[in-house]
Amino acid sequence: MSTAPIGERIDEAYVDLSPQEQRAADFILAHLADLAVYNATELARLSGVSKATVSRLFRRLGFSDAKEVRAHARILRAEGVPLGGASAALTAHLAQEQSNIHHAFSSANVEQLTRAAALIAAARRVVVIGLRNSYPVALHLRQQLLQGLADVRLAPQPGQSIGEELAGLGPTDVAIVIGFRRRPDGFARILDAAHSARVPIVLLADPSARRFSDRASAWLECPVDSVSALDSYAAANSLVSVLASQTLAVAARTSRTRIASINRLYSDLHELESPSG
């Protein structure tokens, strides 16, 4: 039996479906984000076909009934698989974003933020690791930390692997590992390698990575849940901003010196537009 997402199953079987089944399939493809809440009767009514047609379509796609389809859709969304289709209302989107941010700044996370900032500020070298969809968050964090810390590296570099960046790190360094869901298969091995070298780890990820938190010196849990088709990283970027700000506050003297030096270079190199435009 196929384990592919339902959208892929429909694409593969589409030409062999009857016109009525194709009509139901078209509706499903246009409303994948809502599939977890529809039963067979609702799908039949909304797509303009009979309930028997919907049931027959599900069987052709490898599902026993609508209940199994709903469970399949919930599993896909929990794993972060993008589900296209109808867009969610802005009010629902805003409510979910607020929930994510509240979770990210829970009392437990505030304590871990303080610990993480202290570790990063005291480190000889900081390596920020982000793979796949975590890479943009890692890139932003590195740019923020670099304002006040001299040796902050991003991994992996284009065309490189993680090994080059982990080599030589030790207890006086810090690895910030960002690992949101749909992580690559080798994610745990990266954590194990850093942990074996006694490198303090700051782990920033969604709740699905909680099982890795025992390797981390600081664990920052940040949901990326969304009512829309794709995960949202608004809370993650907010958390990154606070983490960088707290780190620079801990390393206040060296940060001020570096920031002043950077600003002088901005002026000398004419890298920024003037406030007057």
Question: What are 95-117's pLDDT values in tens digits?
Answer: 888 888 988 898 778 889 999 99
Looking at domain 6-78, its CATH class is: mainly alpha
The answer to whether the CB of 229 falls within 8 A of the CB of 33 is yes
Output the average pLDDT for the chain. 85
Give the integer Cα–Cα distance in Å for 65 and 149: 56
User: Which of 32-41, 45-54, 57-66, 99-108 has the least mean pLDDT?
Assistant: 32-41
| pLDDT (0 to 100) of residue 197 | 93
Question: What are 163-206's pLDDT values in tens digits?
Answer: 888 888 999 999 999 999 888 888 999 999 999 999 999 999 99
Where are the domains positioned within the chain? Answer: 6-78, 93-269
Residue linked to tokens 């972060």: 80
| pLDDT (0 to 100) of residue 86 | 47
Looking at domain 93-269, its CATH class is: alpha beta
- Which of 119, 135, 130, 113 lies closest to 245, judged by CA? 113
Domains 6-78 and 93-269 are alike in CATH topology? no
Half-sphere exposure in the Cβ direction for 87 (13 Å, CA): 5
Tally of CB atoms within 10 A around 59:
11
Overall pTM surpassing 0.85 (yes/no): no
Give the integer Cα–Cα distance in Å for 111 and 116: 9
